[in-house]
Structure 1
Amino acid sequence: MSNTKAQTSAQRRTYVLDTSVLLADPAALRRFEEHEVVLPVVVITELEAKRHHPELGYFARGALRMLDEMRVTHGRLDTPVPVGDHGGSLRVELNHTDATSLPSGFRLGDNDTRILAVARNLADEGHQVTLVSKDLPMRIKASAVGLDAQEYRGEAIGDSDTGYSGMAEVEVAAEELDELYDDGTLDLAEARELPCHTGLVMLSERGTALGRVGPDKQVHLVRGDREAFGIHGRSAEQRVALDLLLDPEVGIVSLGGRAGTGKSALALCAGLEAVMERQQHKKVVVFRPLYAVGGQELGYLPGSESEKMSPWAQAVFDTLGALTSSDVVDEILDRGMLEVLPLTHIRGRSLHDSFVIVDEAQSLERNVLLTVLSRIGANSKVVLTHDVAQRDNLRVGRHDGVVAVVEKLKGHPLFAHVTLTRSERSPIAALVTEMLENVVV
């Protein structure tokens, strides 16, 4: 028994969490099994400062409430309190803030310095310390001062689950293909094992067909001649995506893919088709996150809110202008059928009778995305467009955020995902996009 205890003690690590972890997942406090969790007191201060933030305030308050529940239960948090059923503990660290343990270039007196100092001083005392952060620069700083640093992955999916494209390829008999074209549906054994709404490219000796797996596990024919607001799908993925976007029974559609694959154009045209032609919704609402290239937030730009949003809204109008005439664009705007808003406006709203597009969703943290989805009201549809290779929010890793949401929801009858692969932009843009894909972490 004593040997087992000694081995457990030797394997026990001290995880120092920064604020970004709790803003991504307040329940992170309970996710470290038998290990010790240390919160530098400055993290509490930063959570307090974020309490009324339009996007992150909800999660800051959730983390503070969880800490307060522990305080009520155990009396104080400056000494280790038990967490979970595996022997883990948590404490708020009031000491170990002496920055002289850091190289002189890191003694800046800011909050990052205080968190790094706590981790470095605990490591110097013999603790097996790992600094955990969602913030890429923070992890780089920690490594630079000799600390083990890890990205928080508690709410992320596993590496083996990141390849879901929403498409599959199967070989079928020519007679089965004929049945699909004649009846519109086909009972296919291979399809029963696939998630609902997976697109299928079916190959036979006499030709090919497109279909998708329905909630009944039958294969339903996807017609190549479907159009939305005048555009047709060019590739198999685009045609399946268009079929899903125009299906009122699918409430959430995720469109992934690199820049130039047509995600935004398909979503926008499907929305306008649903609003103007089919009259299934009253308006199209496009939400864009407030991150520019490099992670700059909207608040740093001068001018009024409409002036600040202009560059973000212009991307939507550029897409629309390339698809239709200026007269049609003017009509859409005059009739109030299209809104482009910052994502901060979604909290507190319930979006009824709307075709909602969340553009550039790869820059949103998982909890923010779930908040967005919770705002969707009656008779509304939401489309997430994303390219995980172009994340502008440094707190969002490649394997969390929208990727984790896709993995959680795939297979549900209300949800569908398709990754688009064929670039519709110029050869130059396609080349540069491919180069960026190879260097982005």
Structure 2
Amino acid sequence: MDTGTLTEVLIEFPDNRLLIDLCGEYDRNLADIEKRLDVQIVRRGNLLAILGEESAQIEARDVLNALYQRLEAGRTVDPGDIDREFRMNAPEETAPGADAQMEMFSGGKVEIKTRKKLIEPRTDAQKAYVRSLFNNELAFGIGPAGTGKTYLAVAVGVNLFISGAVDRIILSRPAVEAGEKLGYLPGDMKDKVDPYMQPLYDALNDFLPGKQLAKMMEEKTVEIAPLAFMRGRTLSNAFVVLDEAQNATTMQMKMFLTRLGEGSRMVITGDRTQVDLPRGMPSGLADAERLLSHIPKIGFNYFTSADVVRHPLVAAIIRAYEGDSQG
């Protein structure tokens, strides 16, 4: 970048202590923004000078101001917060059926309070999804891995439990063998099934202190169980999540959906491209989407590779596979 021919934009930050946090350790936050926008950011006392193309300068200024406001509000700034500011201020790829959600839910701040942290959606699709989880008794989150479908659903469940809106949290997954047979795994049934449930344990541990979570599981106010264990139950006053729903059969999906009881909310998450059912067996997620999409008060929320919030390579890998399947 030839800075000799470019003008600079100056931003003043009155609190020098917050400016230090804004820049980050060894100015890593500034370096991140510089790399993303091909600009140069120079600190001069309590001023930051941005050199680069005009459009990039404006975007860098807006991101820096938004991050400084976070610090003024007593929050921290980490790489995930920088990523969110870029995503939320940029036009994003949308999946089929997502336009209406964007129009309904693009305005206003969305936050999820849990015992351990405050969760903020990092894309417009995530924001729409969270709003849908709060507004609908039954909601679907459909899209590729790494888009936060399960993580955000569990966060909302913890939030509703803490506020007293529900009495318990029930998390479930189909225990489908993806290349391995359950019977060959060591241990009793719990030992065999727990590895399938681990992502749900991981999410809960992110939102609840360990001792509190252990007590809640002992008291059965938090349950994690395979889908087959849901048969015959009526789930009242509960927040219920069915994860990896693409691996539920049509009959299993019908069974699960009809467990919905008074005062409960239910979330179904899945990825159409990751079906591990035997060849020729239809996915219950696809059938539910086809049969229920016209019913009012059921939210359908869609994600694409643009919403992946894991390592950037994950999004690139997903796009590569999507392109191959379309070819």
Residue aligning to 1:402: 285
User: Structure 1 pair 308/428, CA: closer, same or farther in 2 (3 Å)?
Assistant: same
User: How far, CA to CA, are the matches of 1:318 and 1:354 in structure 2?
Assistant: 20
The letter of the residue matching 1:199 is Q
Q: Could you give the per-residue CA deviations for residues 1-35 of structure 1, whole angstroms, max 9, x where no partner exists?
A: xxxxxxxxxxxxxxxxxxxxxxxxxxxxxxxxxxx
Residue aligning to 2:122: 234
Q: 1:167 aligns with which of 98, 112, 129?
A: 98
Q: 1:338 aligns with which of 213, 222, 240?
A: 222
Q: TM-score w.r.t. structure 2 length?
A: 0.62
User: How far, CA to CA, are the matches of 1:359 and 1:227 in structure 2?
Assistant: 20
Residue aligning to 1:246: 134
User: How far, CA to CA, are the matches of 1:396 and 1:284 in structure 2?
Assistant: 33
1:275 to partner: Cα distance: 1.1
Q: Could you give the per-residue CA deviations for residues 171-222 of structure 1, whole angstroms, max 9, x where no partner exists?
A: xxxxxxxxxxxxxxxxxxxxxxxxxxx4133xxxxxxxxx25xxxxxxxx75
User: How far, CA to CA, are the matches of 2:130 and 2:310 in structure 1?
Assistant: 19
CA contact (8 A) 1:241 1:418 kept: yes
Which structure would you say has the larger RCO, counting Cα contacts within 8 Å and 6 or more residues apart?
Answer: 2
**Aligned with 2:260: secondary structure?**
coil
Greater percentage in helix: 2
1:368 to partner: Cα distance: 1.8
Residue aligning to 2:242: 358
The structure with the larger Rg is 1
User: Structure 1 pair 396/431, CA: closer, same or farther in 2 (3 Å)?
Assistant: farther
1:325 to partner: Cα distance: 4.8
Deviating runs (4+, > 6 A) in structure 1?
Answer: none
User: How far, CA to CA, are the matches of 2:219 and 2:204 in structure 1?
Assistant: 15
Residue aligning to 2:170: 285
Q: 1:271 aligns with which of 157, 166, 169?
A: 157
**Aligned with 1:255: secondary structure?**
strand
User: Structure 1 pair 405/228, CA: closer, same or farther in 2 (3 Å)?
Assistant: farther
User: How far, CA to CA, are the matches of 1:225 and 1:315 in structure 2?
Assistant: 24
User: How far, CA to CA, are the matches of 1:165 and 1:271 in structure 2?
Assistant: 27
Q: Could you give the per-residue CA deviations for residues 215-257 of structure 1, whole angstroms, max 9, x where no partner exists?
A: xxxxxx752233243211111111111111112xx22100011
Gaps of 5+ in 2: 1-93
The letter of the residue matching 2:229 is H
CA contact (8 A) 1:166 1:416 kept: no
Residue aligning to 1:298: 182
Does residue 431 in structure 1 map to residue 319 in structure 2?
no
**Aligned with 2:197: secondary structure?**
helix
**Aligned with 1:200: secondary structure?**
helix
User: Structure 1 pair 320/224, CA: closer, same or farther in 2 (3 Å)?
Assistant: same
Residue aligning to 2:57: none
User: How far, CA to CA, are the matches of 1:307 and 1:417 in structure 2?
Assistant: 34
Greater percentage in strand: 1
CA contact (8 A) 1:165 1:418 kept: no
Residue aligning to 1:411: 294
CA contact (8 A) 1:228 1:242 kept: no
Q: TM-score w.r.t. structure 1 length?
A: 0.47
Q: Number of matched residues?
A: 228
Written as runs of structure 1 = structure 2, the 5 A alignment for 1:16-415 is 165-168=96-99, 198-201=100-103, 211=104, 222-229=107-114, 230-247=118-135, 250-276=136-162, 278-294=163-179, 296=180, 298-323=182-207, 325-327=209-211, 329-330=213-214, 332-395=216-279, 400-415=283-298
